[in-house]
Structure 1
């Protein structure tokens, strides 16, 4: 069922691997011309324009952009008890991990009277996008809101598409998750128009609401949401342009083919463009996994979606000579999710340098991280894990340096500054230093004369 890429018998370069390995992704650039007019219309027309687009694309127009408090509270009151319990456990674990991620202020003493302090200031107002298309994703509320809260963000706005079957409001489970986290500002807007409204806000009063713009937009979405984030980047900060979900499994002949197969299928059911890749030095395991997938993928609830993803060019089995070659391939692929099913899996995991998140051994599957491991499931896709981290508390913090030198400390390095400024032909920089050091020298000389008299 899966495409086969046989790399045995040779040592491909990184360049060759980038061309040979299966890869999905989204052509965000091709959609930018489509979303740019939408963003411009919302920039000029505010909430009314956003609601117009929602009516056009989602066939529903909510009574207001902001979901009333009583609607949100009703959703949490009516939440299924088992689902509420599961969300509470997930919230506790995610909060514990992300609370520990917050760095501490620290000061570096460079010399007497010369110090630099680094402080971490939170993004003040954060906009979180939560999809509402093929599935309901309360986990996305948790994964985006909790890190922002642990960073100390002053205010959070959640945007999620209106649902005709739910009175024009976002899905009740989304609203319940918001209530459980104390997020009371939820906008019933989806798609590119939601990203635009978060970026520009609306203070015209035309829609009867004051909608303050945010400073940063995070969260997953389809290609139109990703393109909209690209367009508004710079007006607001963004996390990343998340592509379709992807999983790679690095396995040897000790792996259980059933567990590998069900994990590959689990990510394939996300989206027709999702990528599922097995990297192994065992032809026997490859054959067994492919057979299991052929049997199991047909019986899953989202069988058609999974079959399309598993049979696409973005998915496949990569055969390598040995574990060393497998590690090299895994690093070149830089998967969003990488599972390690090998002997000494923990040691192998420590040798991986490129992955969004690494799942060690047979009892740490990707769905654990999707919901309740405590780690974040908003991760870099399409190979960007080589240079981009996943969402975390750090995402919502801005390191700021506080520089404090006294007179003597500045005088000590002043000549070096003047030398560097002269070399760069920026004499005014040097003059700014001389104005201080010469004044200090003059004051010192005057003090010496006074003492002599």
Structure 2
């Protein structure tokens, strides 16, 4: 890995792939076709892009398919999925916000009503890969929020089925609407609905560039979670850190994508050299060596700071998706961290612990957006309504102020709407 003396500018931002003009136009055409032609268009694109001829009556996964999947997934795997589900549910259960009301002395009642979304669509990447963690991290907070209808879409395998572990995980969560539909056509079906798939209010979950572009283009018709960039990790370490642990954790993100970023920030030149050697050694035996090596060469770095305060400032400037504190006193350092999607404290808190099992959500802000955004959470699946019940006394006390404020903005009808009530109250008093 490159060992770089820390300078003031430590940004390693990568441009998020916005797609080519041709890709954006292709997605636009797919969305328009699904919007206008419904199931027929979805059938056409499923055959074209996934190589599977499915009729609309075959989109919905059957109970027999789920039962068959259970026969091919071992009990130990199912138990792990269940335990992870329970951990994730317990963590997100602590995020629930309640509606509230407050009454003022003049009888005015103000408050906030928290309401879960009616329907949410979860996109799960498919094909040969299986991503049960994606299902858990997107479905569980929606369920905790109280979303009644959760729909899952995923591209079919070449035999027209979904991965066994994907089906088992979805069933363990109680997801009943699972469709063998993926790509931009799956996103469009969720946004606009077809004869088979009813529309939703929000779409969450990762996908390839066509899925990302489709989510961008349907935003406004529905809500979306985020357009995430490549994965990233920053390890903040001092001389007490174990080099092999640091290197392993850096590579855990580098293997995701050639554009993934893996960065060590330290005040120890000795540790920097040791980690660099460890990364080179551990790379050799990785199954995804080519991907991880490209990531390390292009977007990996070791920053050596002159002081600990400089190292902390660098971490906050990077605002990483994942931040590990491999330091002697991580809890003492934690208050100094302002910007990070997820923070892992101590040598046993390896990043994959958060990816799969601990409980916090692994859908995190990337590319420096942790400066202003948060992990996916229960609040993402709710909306809030303000409650205003103004009393007679309050309108008498404040009506003239409100109408004056309205006239400041040149809105006469606003002012009169309040003054009609004041006039009524005045007339009633004089009778």
TM norm. shorter chain > 0.5: yes
Name the TM tier (shorter chain).
over 0.9
Matches of 1:255 and 1:139, distance apart in 2: 29
SS of match in other structure, 1:382: coil
Please say if residues 111 and 409 of structure 1, whose CA atoms lie closer than 8 Å, have aligned partners that are also in contact: no
The yes-or-no answer on 1:253 pairing with 2:239 is yes
> Residue in 2 aligned with 1:131?
125
Matches of 2:354 and 2:230, distance apart in 1: 16
Within the candidate set 144, 152, 161, 1:169 is matched to 161
Within the candidate set 305, 324, 328, 1:339 is matched to 324
Please say if residues 114 and 409 of structure 1, whose CA atoms lie closer than 8 Å, have aligned partners that are also in contact: yes
The yes-or-no answer on 1:196 pairing with 2:188 is yes
Matches of 1:414 and 1:333, distance apart in 2: 50
For residues 217-272 of structure 1, the C-alpha deviation after alignment (integer angstroms, 9 at most, x for no partner) is 00111222111111110010001001211111111111111100000111111222
| RMSD across aligned positions (CA) | 1.5
For residues 346-404 of structure 1, the C-alpha deviation after alignment (integer angstroms, 9 at most, x for no partner) is 12122111111111111111100000110000111111111111111111010111111
> Residue in 1 aligned with 2:204?
218
> Residue in 2 aligned with 1:6?
5
Q: Shift of the alpha carbon at 1:342?
A: 1.3
Matches of 1:83 and 1:275, distance apart in 2: 30
Unaligned stretches of 5+ residues in structure 2: none
Matches of 2:403 and 2:307, distance apart in 1: 57
Q: Shift of the alpha carbon at 1:29?
A: 5.0
Q: Shift of the alpha carbon at 1:25?
A: 4.6
Matches of 2:26 and 2:261, distance apart in 1: 26
Within the candidate set 168, 171, 175, 1:183 is matched to 175
> Residue in 1 aligned with 2:311?
326
Please say if residues 25 and 244 of structure 1, whose CA atoms lie closer than 8 Å, have aligned partners that are also in contact: no
Matches of 2:395 and 2:179, distance apart in 1: 52
> Residue in 2 aligned with 1:451?
none
- CA change 1:110–1:321 in 2 (3 A) is farther
> Residue in 1 aligned with 2:14?
24
> Residue in 2 aligned with 1:38?
30
Matches of 2:281 and 2:207, distance apart in 1: 31
> Residue in 2 aligned with 1:449?
none
Please say if residues 339 and 361 of structure 1, whose CA atoms lie closer than 8 Å, have aligned partners that are also in contact: yes
Unaligned stretches of 5+ residues in structure 1: 204-209, 447-453
SS of match in other structure, 2:38: helix
> Residue in 2 aligned with 1:72?
66
Q: Shift of the alpha carbon at 1:442?
A: 1.1
> Residue in 2 aligned with 1:404?
389
TM-score by length of 1: 0.91
Matches of 1:110 and 1:29, distance apart in 2: 53
SS of match in other structure, 2:387: strand
The yes-or-no answer on 1:59 pairing with 2:44 is no
Runs of 4+ in 1 over 6 A off after TM superposition: none
Matches of 1:136 and 1:26, distance apart in 2: 24
Please say if residues 17 and 229 of structure 2, whose CA atoms lie closer than 8 Å, have aligned partners that are also in contact: no
SS of match in other structure, 1:157: strand
Please say if residues 127 and 157 of structure 2, whose CA atoms lie closer than 8 Å, have aligned partners that are also in contact: no
SS of match in other structure, 1:299: coil
TM-score by length of 2: 0.96
Please say if residues 76 and 179 of structure 1, whose CA atoms lie closer than 8 Å, have aligned partners that are also in contact: no
Q: Shift of the alpha carbon at 1:179?
A: 0.5
Please say if residues 76 and 177 of structure 1, whose CA atoms lie closer than 8 Å, have aligned partners that are also in contact: no
Deviates more, 1:368-377 or 1:76-85: 76-85
Q: Shift of the alpha carbon at 1:32?
A: 2.7
SS of match in other structure, 1:73: helix
Q: Shift of the alpha carbon at 1:182?
A: 0.5
Matches of 2:424 and 2:259, distance apart in 1: 67
Matches of 1:439 and 1:292, distance apart in 2: 81
SS of match in other structure, 1:199: helix
Pairs within 5 Å for 1:233-272: 233-272=219-258
Matches of 1:34 and 1:387, distance apart in 2: 32
The size of the alignment, in residue pairs, is: 427
Deviates more, 1:369-378 or 1:222-231: 222-231
For residues 21-77 of structure 1, the C-alpha deviation after alignment (integer angstroms, 9 at most, x for no partner) is 323353225343332222112212222212322222222233422212221233234
